[in-house]
Amino acid sequence: MNMQSPPTLPFYHPVARECELFETAYDNGLPLLLKGPTGCGKTRFVEHMAAKLGKPLYTVACHDDLSAADLIGRYLLKGGETVWVDGPLTRAVREGGICYLDEVVEARKDVTVVLHPLTDTRRTLMIDRTGEELVAPPEFMLVASYNPGYQNVLKRLKPSTRQRFLSASFDFPREEIEIAIVAQESRLEPGRVAPLVRLGGHIRELSGMDLEEGVSTRLLIYAATLMAGGMGVTQAIEAAIVEPLTDEPDMQQALRDLVATIYG
């Protein structure tokens, strides 16, 4: 869990009207669900909007063992006495902040039970252990994300949960926008970023066939950052793209061949 109150606006390049949607959802107390592949900018978008609205942001990276208690809070032993400690969701509700549940489908099923009253007209959070029932202030917003292309039958948002959220689909940016994003984040010249982004596009065409997932914008930024720091192209791409994407020797060689074609 990470709580942020960014002093400056994190860089985010709008792709469509997602910023307008977020602000409208916030103004009307509506929850928002972001759908899209790993590393396409969902988390950065939420960070950007929280900073733009001037609201504290509680980001929770959901995982298989994440329970409702991890979000709400629990009694802990401190200094020889038992005290109640709020979880990130409870703090966001109390403070009127934004709680962002990243990859919400990874969390345990009891998490959705907690979220339902917060995502309808009740906007309440029940804390069974303390007997409190918190009513979320107008400033509170719940945002969640997941990757639809990476789900299996056992990890899928139920319609009863999905239909409680507004929803927006994210994807990798168009080439010219991705070049601008990678250049801005890495400080590498756009002319040197362009072939890197073209490489990313070709790799994504392999996604779902030979590769489980395509290369993320995040990994392209990593590669560009290494290059901007003086590392050679081949070494930077090997460390930031080839090795993170696959452990299969044949697939790694195919990626290296693709790199040679782009940079040949």
Q: So where are the chain's domains?
A: 2-169, 175-263
Q: pTM of the full predicted structure?
A: 0.87
Cα 156-100-214 angle, rounded to 5 deg: 55
* Pair 127, 133: CB distance under 8 Å: yes
DSSP designation for 242: I
Question: Which one is the CATH code of 2-169: 3.30.2020.30, 3.40.50.300, 3.90.1150.10, 3.40.190.150?
Answer: 3.40.50.300
| Predicted pLDDT of residue 127 | 94
Mean pLDDT of 202-221: 84
Q: How confident is the model at residue 153 (pLDDT cuts 50, 70, 90)?
A: very low
Q: How confident is the model at residue 212 (pLDDT cuts 50, 70, 90)?
A: confident
Q: Tokens 């979220």 identify what position?
A: 115
